[in-house]
Amino acid sequence: MEQKKYWDDVSDQKQFTTPFQADAFCKYVNSSSRILDVGCGYGRTLDELYQMGFHNLIGIDFSKGMIIRGQTQFPYLDLRVKESGPIDLPAESVDAVILFAVLTCIRENAEQEALISDIKRVLKPNGILYVNDFLLNTDERNLTRYQKFQEKYDNYGVFQLPDGAVCRHHDEVWIKELLSDFKQEMYENLTFTTMNGHRSNGFCYIGRRII
Ligand SMILES: C[S@@+](CC[C@H](N)C(=O)[O-])C[C@H]1O[C@@H](n2cnc3c(N)ncnc32)[C@H](O)[C@@H]1O
């Protein structure tokens, strides 16, 4: 199933619960910072920031369904459908970007690299990139599905859920390589509960665009 269609189809059902590391993020931004949430879903992270006094916020997501749900639930947020191609914002126009559980939806290295490069373009010099995502696990359930789908997707850690979602759990080495153009400010290993109620390894990263 095409992934954009998948997220549209579940846009009224999924509740995203992975906690946003607000305390860590807020050390690097202030209330007037222009913050862009890429793959914002229905906007729950931006709403959390809004309630904390951040009002210069934009959310983009390629799923129209997610954006419509967010616009209904949080009408005061600026949520926009992201069309294919580059992010529709000028170069060096935002102070911080949030990328929260989005890499897990992008199975190919090249596509992840293109998104990170575009994020770098829209960030101001010294701008902040916050990434939360999933890492490889070693339990039997995960090992079985990584092996089952390795050949099909030609990338260890990519797997398909019974409902059609294709997800990726990442090798930490790949994440470090992907983000190597940024200066790492913070990196923490975490354990998450996924949107389907399972436990998974994950990380929270904060980096700075090198001028
Ligand atoms: C697991 S959800 C997380 C949503 C949100 N970041 C949160 O944590 O509440 C992933 C979201 O990323 C969006 N997405 C996936 N790939 C995308 C892409 N290439 N461009 C824009 N949005 C994308 C999906 O539509 C979905 O809403």
Residue ranges of the chain whose pLDDT lies below 70 = 1
Q: Given this model, what pLDDT does residue 1 score? A: 53
| Mean per-residue pLDDT of the chain | 96
Q: Residue 147, Cβ neighbours under 10 Å: how many?
A: 11
User: 38 CA to middle of ligand 1, Å?
Assistant: 7
User: 66 CA to middle of ligand 1, Å?
Assistant: 9
Q: How far apart are CA 40 and CA 20, in angstroms?
A: 12
Q: Given this model, what pLDDT does residue 209 score? A: 97
Q: Whose CA is nearest to atom 13 of ligand 1?
A: 39
Summarize pLDDT for 88-108 with one digit per residue, the tens. 999 999 999 999 999 999 999
Q: How far apart are CA 123 and CA 44, in angstroms?
A: 22
| Structural class in CATH, domain 3-209 | alpha beta
User: 181 CA to middle of ligand 1, Å?
Assistant: 23
Return the structure tokens found at 204. Answer: 């929270």
Q: Given this model, what pLDDT does residue 41 score? A: 98
Alpha carbon 58 to chain centroid, angstroms: 14
**What number does the ligand 1 atom closest to the CA of 11 have?**
27
Mapped onto helix, strand or coil, the DSSP state of residue 116 is helix
Burial of residue 79 (CB within 10 Å: 0-12, 13-18, 19+) is buried
Whether 45 lines ligand 1, by a CB cut-off of 6 Å, is yes
Return the structure tokens found at 120. Answer: 């770098």
Q: Given this model, what pLDDT does residue 140 score? A: 96
Q: Given this model, what pLDDT does residue 108 score? A: 96
Q: How far apart are CA 96 and CA 122, in angstroms?
A: 9
User: 138 CA to middle of ligand 1, Å?
Assistant: 25
pTM: 0.97
Q: Given this model, what pLDDT does residue 19 score? A: 93
